[in-house]
Amino acid sequence: MKKEKSCPVIIARQEHEISRKLMSPNALRTLYRLKDNGYVGYLVGGCVRDLLLGREPKDFDVVTNATPNEVKRMFRNCRLIGRRFRLAHIHFQDEIIEVATFRSQASNEPEPEPKEAHGAEHRQRHPRMVKDDDGMILRDNVYGTPEEDALRRDFTVNALAYNIADFSIIDYTGGLADLDAGIIRTIGDPDVRFQEDPVRMLRAVRFAAQLAFTIEENTRKALVAAADTIVRAAPPRLYDELLKLILSGEGAKCYDLLRQTGLFAALFPAFSSWLGAESEGYPHTRFGEMLSCVDSRIQQGHKVSPPLLLALLFGEYIDEKAERFRRQGAPWLQSVNAAVAEFMGETCPIVMIANRVGNALRDIISQQMRLKKIPGRRPESFIARHDFNDIIEFCRITRGDKKDVVKQLDWWAAQSQQQVPVPLPPDLTEESDAPQHKRKRRRRRRNPKAKSVTEVV
Ligand code: ATP
Ligand code: MG
């Protein structure tokens, strides 16, 4: 990491395309208030990158030289959050603007003097960055200069700042050139930066896929070399980052990159070898198809819940596990429970799926059985389930190529939109017959080669 003081490239207002009209009015209000009180105020990170690329930013982050307490004194609608590193959240009606004090990372020297603009909080202790034996950052809560704040960021294209004082863009790391060239490059030595925080490898993949950028050669080499170390990141954080990545609207591209770099095999060793072991690449292709399907939903503006996403991606894998339990004599529902439990057991030590999400995943896979029984007993109670739409979606996506299934799903969808019962399609009436349903269930128990969980509809 560069430590010597360097001059930033400054792009004046008239030389760049970012207009304040494209910014969140609340972010602008926050920046002007900081400026009017004599502080520095920058927009930073993803929002500057996205504004320059003509994309709509997801959120607007502000950095300043005011300390959190100084920010709090300036805004009545401010709450301080975070124990380790205090951040100010400015609450507006429909938006929260995060304001952080400039931070430094490159600080293995003796504890620095606090760098507050107005000298307040001098007695506050500022623990320095702490790394573990393998170089992973455990703590990095040190205030810093604007330059240090830029240098601690992950990629050059994420380190650009927009200065409210003169509407210029400040570039300490060559981010503008990389943005023009479509390159994702770590700031500083990529080996060190991925060692400090392995999650940055997932972020590199996400930004490359999302922005259609290339990962710069040295960054890519370091990423491939460090791919196995991804398991050192905290499992809940890996789950969050993977969700962002798969729900970015470019999940299929992300998956390709994860596979090419070795990250996928490190994150999901058992699932990955299952995908690889099958002949003709069928599960692998199927997995890619599911991702493309999720991508098109996201691109059309639909939401995909985490349990539905997991059911779509891992449904067949879980199914095969359930089939194994069934062959050993377990009843159908128990087989699904055992299969989901086994899947969670092998996945969660690396990628932590919360139990609540695991239970919801199990419900989607097991409850699809009920769609077959139309009208069934108390259909309204099934329709009232919070995950009813996810169950319908899951079946439509995975089994929607079967005529019977489509009819059943349409019936349930119509039923859920109406108060009055919808008549059954004539050729499905038989299915709803209660005694016949019972007969079918008994037959399934006797037959160890019964259809798999996702094929029961
Ligand atoms: P998105 O469009 O997904 O919000 P983003 O770049 O804004 O992309 P955030 O997670 O919102 O990503 O983070 C905001 C900024 O914080 C980033 O642009 C980057 O400068 C910095 N940052 C985030 N995570 C890291 C990290 N792991 N290491 C270093 N800097 C980081
Ligand atoms: Mg962001």
Indicate if the pLDDT at residue 428 is higher than 70.
no
pLDDT digits (tens, 9 = 90+) for 285-307: 788 899 999 999 999 999 999 99
pLDDT digits (tens, 9 = 90+) for 221-277: 999 999 999 999 999 999 999 999 999 999 999 999 999 999 999 999 999 999 887
Ligand with smallest separation from the Cα of 45: 1
Q: For residue 1, what pLDDT is reported?
A: 44
Q: For residue 136, what pLDDT is reported?
A: 72
Query: How many A from CA of 161 to the centre of ligand 1?
Result: 13
Ligand 1 atom nearest to CA at 47: 7
Please identify, in words, the CATH class of the domain defined by 1-108+127-181: alpha beta
pLDDT digits (tens, 9 = 90+) for 99-147: 999 998 754 444 444 444 443 343 344 445 666 666 676 556 688 999 9
Q: How confident is the model at residue 36 (pLDDT cuts 50, 70, 90)?
A: very high
Catalytic residue positions, numbered? 59, 61, 154
- Token pair, residue 266, equals 């490190």
pLDDT digits (tens, 9 = 90+) for 351-370: 999 999 999 999 999 988 77
Ligand 1 atom nearest to CA at 61: 14
Domain ranges of the chain: 1-108+127-181, 367-422
Residue from 47, 139, 154, 243 whose mutation best tests the ligand 1 pocket (most atoms within 8 A of CB): 154
pLDDT digits (tens, 9 = 90+) for 153-200: 999 999 999 999 999 999 999 999 999 999 999 999 999 999 999 999
Query: How many A from CA of 129 to the centre of ligand 2?
Result: 23
pLDDT digits (tens, 9 = 90+) for 311-355: 999 999 999 999 999 999 999 899 999 999 999 999 999 999 999
452 Cβ contact partners less than 8 Å away, ≥ 6 residues apart:
319, 320, 322, 323
Ligand 1 atom nearest to CA at 200: 27
Indicate if the pLDDT at residue 445 is higher than 80.
no
Residue from 47, 147, 203 whose mutation best tests the ligand 1 pocket (most atoms within 8 A of CB): 203
- What percent of the chain clears pLDDT 70, i.e. is strictly above it? 81
Q: For residue 8, what pLDDT is reported?
A: 92
Query: How many A from CA of 158 to the centre of ligand 1?
Result: 7
Ligand with smallest separation from the Cα of 49: 1
